Structure 1
Amino acid sequence: MTFQTKAAAVGDTASRLSFNAQQEAITKEGEADMLEAAKLQNELNRTNMFAKLMEAGPKAAKDLIS
């Protein structure tokens, strides 16, 4: 193996490692975004349910709970 071939192999390996690290970081960021979106959706659902209960009154609350 020549020096140029070894250098190219090392460069290729470094490039793959860098790509894998970037891909992992993007995946983790996407996962965090999805968890945040789920939390926001749950909060929205609770807020909407509370608004419906306030609007409809005690009978609707009883129907919703049972």
Structure 2
Amino acid sequence: MSAYHEAELAELAAHVAETIDQFRSDVLTALDVDEVLFQYSCAAKELWKFCNIGDAQAAAVQLHGAP
């Protein structure tokens, strides 16, 4: 489960990095960046809850199907 959590966080962080690069290139505004950061925060919290609260075995089954 920790490998899944880390991989998903890396994907979220890559999206944030891409957004900041676009901001630095004057493609996006600060408001666009703010929206992505808000979405990142919400997604990271939900990911943490999915990976850390409740039955880890049930979460693994959700991710990979029946054992």
Report the TM-score when normalising by structure 2. 0.41
The structure with the largest alpha-carbon Rg is 1
More helix by share: 1
